[in-house]
């Protein structure tokens, strides 16, 4: 087993990535006209380079019909994932310590394979091993998700990584200490107006963002021996060699070129039929720096809306934030789009009583004048714009929560709330209704813990004393608040928002029973 130049002396940071959820991968496949793997009976999911495992374990808790396996070379990572699996009593998840070249011979086939934060950070030899895993272990019709640093967005920032790594190599101590020293060196160069920073104004803003990051993240992002930004075509060629075909990308709006590029470029896209060429145009027009791409082995065409209704109608659509009024504005980076008009108002009305599958939306009388394919496209665009959400099953309308005790039925979620509350980073809780994680703040997790163990009476006082004991700082507008009166106001406001918004949302998706 060899790490092939990948950092192993410092453990990574825990994180949940909703882009990896089967429900999301299936939706992107369906909206691109590809038949997604079914999930109504058993299926298998493999995460390569799972780190501390919070993505695949949360997904396992949210999808009890699937079997989820994580693989990582770093035993500190896999033992953390194994602890979560045991503490959360996840019978459908397991983790393997090892490199991608030495997976068990009898590992079998998977309907989903995902790798996030891996492909750009390993050398060519390990990338070939990943392609071999895809070739051998992705089932026909299966989907593979790969994320990577992309060109041309990374072009002018590549030297930041180069300087960080070269300087860190000259320093003493573990990787955390060395990356800290290297960051200080970069700040020194920038503050004295080194010509690189003068010639690349965005590099300075980028450095400002870097110094706020967790050092463990920076170690894994920048200190590996390998670090390659790819053009989309290069990655498509590699997975093509493994017998895979490009299906689509994430976030969902990246499947709609008009939501990615300014109107000046529309003619270019209208006259391009080849999806691979479209992707290259898009990356240049939008200066893409990171991609989440989905590939399929032997993809089966859906055969229009009829085929989609026959194979993917278990996906349901709901309003992301119940109560949203039109016009709704969505900022997608390069493009800001406004959603308005009777079709979307009709969708908001139709979905006000809870989520619906596409078949029921299409059958709704209020859309009789809209061609069904256009309606399906509008629903998908609604997801792309953040107005609508997709879920693995039915989610009822957001209701009032009854007074009385609340509880967290999932052992996995109880474990996460206990361990991650006030941990300083977002907390993902598994929802079987949505088939993915529901992300809340670490302060919300502490309130949830308090509310489900001791009720909501006196929540403000209990949160205040818990915060005082933990040393977790409170912030307003990114600035630390030390004044005790101001702190109390923040705690009051946090409890109010939790009870009015977060708790009902958690009850709505079944994370909490109320």
Rounded least distance, CB 408 to ligand SAM, Å: 24
**Residue 71 or 351 having the CB closest to ligand SAM:** 71
**Residue 9 or 349 having the CB closest to ligand SAM:** 9
CA–CA distances in Å: residue 149 to residues 117, 118, 281: 9, 10, 17
**Residue 126 or 408 having the CB closest to ligand SAM:** 126
Other residues' Cβ atoms within 10 Å of the Cβ of residue 513: 13
* Residue 39: closest CA among 54, 17, 49, 24: 24
Instruction: Give residues with Cβ within 8 angstroms of 377, minimum separation 6.
Output: none
Rounded least distance, CB 354 to ligand SAM, Å: 32
Rounded least distance, CB 84 to ligand SAM, Å: 13
Place of tokens 């790490």: 3
Task: Give bridge partners of residue 440 from the DSSP assignment.
Answer: 427
**Residue 77 or 137 having the CB closest to ligand SAM:** 77
**Residue 168 or 260 having the CB closest to ligand SAM:** 168
Rounded least distance, CB 389 to ligand SAM, Å: 22
Angle at 43 between CA 249 and CA 305, to 5 degrees: 50
Rounded least distance, CB 14 to ligand SAM, Å: 7
Dig out the tokens for 58 from the structure: 């949360």
Rounded least distance, CB 70 to ligand SAM, Å: 9
**Residue 12 or 498 having the CB closest to ligand SAM:** 12
Q: Which H/E stretch holds residue 124?
A: helix 124-137
CA torsion 105→107→112→114, rounded to 10°? -70
Rounded least distance, CB 291 to ligand SAM, Å: 15
Rounded least distance, CB 87 to ligand SAM, Å: 19
Rounded least distance, CB 43 to ligand SAM, Å: 20
Question: Are 153 and 290 in contact, with CB atoms under 8 Å apart?
Answer: yes
Rounded to the nearest 10 degrees, what angle do helices 275-286 and 232-241 cross at? 150
Rounded least distance, CB 7 to ligand SAM, Å: 8
Rounded least distance, CB 13 to ligand SAM, Å: 7
Rounded least distance, CB 73 to ligand SAM, Å: 4
Question: Are 355 and 388 in contact, with CB atoms under 8 Å apart?
Answer: no
Return the SS3 of 248: strand
Dig out the tokens for 64 from the structure: 């009890």
What's 105-152 look like in SS3? CCCCCEEEEEECCCHHHCCHHHHHHHHHHHHHHEEEEEEEEEEEEECC
d(CA 346, CA 361): 10
- C-alpha 7 chain-centroid distance: 23
Question: Are 130 and 10 in contact, with CB atoms under 8 Å apart?
Answer: no
**Residue 2 or 42 having the CB closest to ligand SAM:** 2
d(CA 34, CA 247): 7
CA torsion 231→334→18→281, rounded to 10°? -30
For ligand SAM, the binding residues (CB under 6 A) are 4, 6, 12, 15, 17, 49-51, 71-74, 77, 99-100, 116-118, 121-122, 126, 220
**Residue 227 or 257 having the CB closest to ligand SAM:** 227
**Residue 214 or 492 having the CB closest to ligand SAM:** 214
Helical H segments across 421-458, by residue range? 442-454
Instruction: Give residues with Cβ within 8 angstroms of 279, minimum separation 6.
Output: 232, 233, 236, 246, 249
Task: Give bridge partners of residue 295 from the DSSP assignment.
Answer: 144, 246
Task: Give bridge partners of residue 356 from the DSSP assignment.
Answer: 317
**Residue 10 or 507 having the CB closest to ligand SAM:** 10
**Residue 56 or 257 having the CB closest to ligand SAM:** 56
Return the SS3 of 270: helix
d(CA 436, CA 428): 9
């Amino acid at each position: 087993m060899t790490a092939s130049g990948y950092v192993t002396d410092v453990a990574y940071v825990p994180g949940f990535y909703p882009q990896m959820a089967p429900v999301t991968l299936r939706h992107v496949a369906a909206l691109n006209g590809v038949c997604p793997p079914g999930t109504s009976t058993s299926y298998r999911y493999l995460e390569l380079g799972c780190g501390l495992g919070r993505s695949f374990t949360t997904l396992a808790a949210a999808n009890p019909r699937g079997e989820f396996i994580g693989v990582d070379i770093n035993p500190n990572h896999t033992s953390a994932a194994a602890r979560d699996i045991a503490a959360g009593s996840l019978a459908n998840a397991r983790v393997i310590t090892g490199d991608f070249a030495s997976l068990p011979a009898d590992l079998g086939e998977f309907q989903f394979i995902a790798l996030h934060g891996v492909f750009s950070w390993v050398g060519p030899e390990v990338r070939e091993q990943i392609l071999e895993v895809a070739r051998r272990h992705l089932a026909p019709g299966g989907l593979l998700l790969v994320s990577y640093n992309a060109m041309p967005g990374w072009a002018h920032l590549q030297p930041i990584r180069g300087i960080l790594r070269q300087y860190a190599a000259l320093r003493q101590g573990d990787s955390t200490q060395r990356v800290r020293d290297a960051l200080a060196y970069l700040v020194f160069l920038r503050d004295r107006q080194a010509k690189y920073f003068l010639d690349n104004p965005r590099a300075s803003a980028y450095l400002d963002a870097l110094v706020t990051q967790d050092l463990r993240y920076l170690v894994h992002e920048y200190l590996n021996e390998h670090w390659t930004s790819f053009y989309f075509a290069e990655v498509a060629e590699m997975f093509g060699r493994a017998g895979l075909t490009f299906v689509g990308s994430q976030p969902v709006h990246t499947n709609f070129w008009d939501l990615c590029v300014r109107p000046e470029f529309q003619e270019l896209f209208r006259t391009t039929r080849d999806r691979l060429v479209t992707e290259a145009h898009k990356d240049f027009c939008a200066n893409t720096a990171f991609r989440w791409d989905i590939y399929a082995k032997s993809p089966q065409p859906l055969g229009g809306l009829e085929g989609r209704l026959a194979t993917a109608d278990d996906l349901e659509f709901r309003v992301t934030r119940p109560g949203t009024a039109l016009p709704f504005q969505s900022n997608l980076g390069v493009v800001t789009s406004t959603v308005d008009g009777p079709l979307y108002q009709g969708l908001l009305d139709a979905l006000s009583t809870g989520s619906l599958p596409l078949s029921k939306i299409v059958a709704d009388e209020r859309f009789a004048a809209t061609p069904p394919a256009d309606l399906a496209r509008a629903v998908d665009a609604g997801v792309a714009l953040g107005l609508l959400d997709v879920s693995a099953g039915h989610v009822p309308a957001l209701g009032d929560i009854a007074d009385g005790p609340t509880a967290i039925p999932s052992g996995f979620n109880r474990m996460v709330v206990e361990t991650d509350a006030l941990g300083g980073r977002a907390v993902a809780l598994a929802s079987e209704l949505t088939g993915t994680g529901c992300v809340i703040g670490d302060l919300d997790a502490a309130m949830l813990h308090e509310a489900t163990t001791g009720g909501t009476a006196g929540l403000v006082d209990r949160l205040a004393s818990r915060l005082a004991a933990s040393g977790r700082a409170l912030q307003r507008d990114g600035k630390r608040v030390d004044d005790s009166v101001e702190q109390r106001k923040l705690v009051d406001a946090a409890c109010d928002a939790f009870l009015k918004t977060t708790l009902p949302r958690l009850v709505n998706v079944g994370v909490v029973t109320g």
